[in-house]
Amino acid sequence: MKKKKWPFVYVAVITVLTYIPILLTVVYSFNTSKLTSVWEGFSLKWYRELFRDRDLGEALMNSLILAVLSCTFAVLIGTSGALGMSRRKRKTDEVVAYVSTLPIMIPEIILGMVFLSVFSLMGLPFGMVTLVIAHTTFCVPYIFTMVRARLVGMDHSLEEAALDLGATKWQVFCDVILPQILPAILSGVLLAFAMSFDDVVISIFVTGPKVNTLPVKIYTKLKTGVTPEINALATVMLIVILLCLMGAYLLGRKVKAPAGEK
Amino acid sequence: MTKTKTKGNSRRRSGNIGLLIPMYVFTILFVALPILYLFLLSFLQRAQVWGVDFTFTLDNYKRILEPLYLDTFWQSLKLAFTATFFVALIGYPYGYFMARMSAVWKRRMLLLIMIPFWTSALIRLYGWIIVFRSNGVLDKILMGLHLTDQPLKLLYTYPAVVVGMVYSLLPFMILAVYSSAEKLDMSLVEASRDLGASSWTAFWTVSFRLTLPGLLSGVVLSFIPSMGLFFIADILGGNKIVLVGSVIQEQITKGRNQPFAAALSAVLMVLTSVMIRLYRKITGTSQLEGML
């Protein structure tokens, strides 16, 4: 079949379009003027202001702590759940599996509403604890589903062989099962982390007056008006992500390289 | 032989149950019960000062039937339909073409799609404020091209909200279609071409049919969140465009009326589950394509 050009042109055009708003924020982060409609010259003052902003720094820390905690709990719950459910066919398992994915199926706002009402019924103080509980519920499905899918395609004879050869259950888990499901856990964590770190809707509902996450902070800032600081923040975030990706790429090459040399 | 096997199985099974406890407890305690409570709450009354009065009432649902709220639902559905339509229109060919690329380019494109996904959704929306703002980038371009001689004032309008929604939801559609199109066996398309089908017929009868689960999954994945993304309507639409999501948030923060917000959420949830049911019925699968 002959290759046509226009599909690639189409994909390229759309991709460029999706990057325009991001590039604009980067460009305007260096603008002297507070207004985005005029370009007055190059300046780094918004970066200075960004790094001076204590609240924003605190919000960033909160978001990181929140994402790490939620992902950790989600890995423990999701992975053990997927492992426990593998190789047995029970109706109750299916029901629990289905219910556990509801948090990413229903609109975020409902989940936020659900937690707000439940936490206020329970009398839990709104803050980090409520945030972690809420975020863990929508992190679990990403990890659970990934690990479960991986387990379906896994060769169980290896576990049996290890057990027959006298390995303890824990050894089997560490040496046989874990290496096989680790990629699934990691890709689940990657998604869950991004979702938690970026979540506005649910966080707005379950956060307390004293705890701000980064997206909540950005949201309130955007609502109040022009904030060139946000441009600078966007640029910094983009750079961090690109660095992480580059790191992951280099690491991936290093891991792959020895195998390739053989 | 069989004896040792059953023994091995039972040994493993007993170990499995312990592993299930956290998942079962967590799901029941923090997902199932809270959702049930939401439905219960929707039949309760708001207390005079703060909190909830545990007396049964249907008033919350009656209130949804008031023209004001019915209209909000209608507006939300309309916006969700419009956004989903454009997401499908743009995202389907994108995902489809992407699946046809070489392995190297596939990986590069996936990365290009994921990078914005990892930056904050809000910050990406802020980029659109720069574009749409009166005398902003778009106005400058259009005026420079003499397509219009005065600023269009697109920010805080309906089209701006649609663009923001489409932009935020596009990756979901692309990934859903992509994962479905990747599995498509191109030899089927070639076979239909060899048997004399035009490229259009071949696409329509083979490729499109087989990638339909991806498209529908993308539709579900864009439609469901779009009804709740109140912050997009907030930031790009000002206070002019009110969605169900905005009303729910307002009822909680300003109205302090949890039961009514719960009733609105319950209706939204039922709508959502109807959609997912429909998807399952049409495609015959339980898993949404390309969700993860």
Separation CA A250–CA A245 (nearest Å): 9
Domains, chain A, in order of start with CATH, read: 54-234 (1.10.3720.10)
pLDDT computed for residue B287 by the predictor: 65
List chain B residues with CB under 8 Å of A126: none
Average pLDDT for A150-157: 82
- Burial (CB < 10 A; 0-12, 13-18, 19+), residue B28, is middle
B122, A204: Cβ pair inside 8 Å? Answer: no
A84, B19: Cβ pair inside 8 Å? Answer: yes
* Neighbouring C-alpha atoms within 13 Å toward the C-beta of B264: 34
Mutating which of A34, A39, A89, A113 best tests the B interface, going by the most B Cβ atoms within 10 A? A113
Separation CA B113–CA B96 (nearest Å): 14
**What CA–CA distances, in Å, run from B20 to A77, A177, B7, B9?**
8, 17, 20, 16
Separation CA A43–CA A48 (nearest Å): 10
Confidence of residue A259 (pLDDT cuts 50, 70, 90): very low
A123's tokens: 């009398």
Note the pLDDT tens digit of each residue in A57-94: 899 999 999 999 999 999 999 999 999 888 778 889 98
Separation CA B140–CA B2 (nearest Å): 79
Question: Hey, how many other C-beta atoms are within 10 angstroms of the C-beta on A157?
Answer: 9
A210's tokens: 């004293």
Note the pLDDT tens digit of each residue in A20-33: 888 888 888 888 87
Task: Select the more confidently predicted residue: B10 or A40.
Answer: A40
pLDDT exceeds 80 at position A137: yes
Note the pLDDT tens digit of each residue in B138-193: 877 888 887 777 777 778 888 899 999 999 999 989 988 998 888 888 888 888 88
Query: CA of B263, closest CA in chain A: separation in Å?
Result: 10
Rounding to the nearest 10 degrees, give the CA dihedral for residues B68, B246, B162, B150.
Answer: 80
Nearest CA in chain A to B291: A142
- Burial (CB < 10 A; 0-12, 13-18, 19+), residue B141, is exposed
Lowest-pLDDT range, A159-168, B59-68, B231-240? B231-240
B27, A87: Cβ pair inside 8 Å? Answer: no
Average pLDDT for B227-253: 84
A219, B122: Cβ pair inside 8 Å? Answer: yes
- Of the candidates A202, A182, A87, the one whose C-alpha atom is nearest the C-alpha of residue A139 is A202
For residues A19-52, one letter each, b for 16 or more C-beta atoms within 10 angstroms of the residue's C-beta and e for the rest, the string is bebbebbbebbbbeeeebeeeeeeeeebbeebee
**Residue matched to tokens 């991806």:** B214
Task: Select the more confidently predicted residue: B241 or B258.
Answer: B258
What phi and psi, each to the nearest 5 degrees, are found at residue A40?
-110, -5
Whether the CB of B117 is below 8 Å from some CB of chain A: the reply is: yes
Nearest CA in chain B to A21: B127
Rounding to the nearest 10 degrees, give the CA dihedral for residues A188, A194, A198, A204.
Answer: 30
| Interface contacts A/B by beta carbons within 8 Å | 238
**What CA–CA distances, in Å, run from A48 to A31, A148, A214, B97?**
13, 47, 18, 43
Domains, chain B, in order of start with CATH, read: 64-283 (1.10.3720.10)
Note the pLDDT tens digit of each residue in A175-194: 888 988 998 899 889 889 98
Residue A31 per-residue DSSP state: B
List chain A residues with CB under 8 Å of B111: 245
Say if pTM beats, i.e. exceeds, 0.90: no
Beta bridge pairs of residue B52: B46
B90, A14: Cβ pair inside 8 Å? Answer: yes
- Chain B residues 273-292 with a CB less than 8 Å from chain A: 276, 291-292
B157's tokens: 């309008």
Whether the CB of B119 is below 8 Å from some CB of chain A: the reply is: yes
B97, A10: Cβ pair inside 8 Å? Answer: yes
- What mean pLDDT is reported for chain B? 84
pLDDT exceeds 90 at position B278: no
Rounding to the nearest 10 degrees, give the CA dihedral for residues B177, B182, B185, B190.
Answer: 80
B26, A104: Cβ pair inside 8 Å? Answer: no
B93, A245: Cβ pair inside 8 Å? Answer: no
* Neighbouring C-alpha atoms within 13 Å toward the C-beta of B53: 10
Separation CA A94–CA A34 (nearest Å): 55
pLDDT exceeds 50 at position B2: no
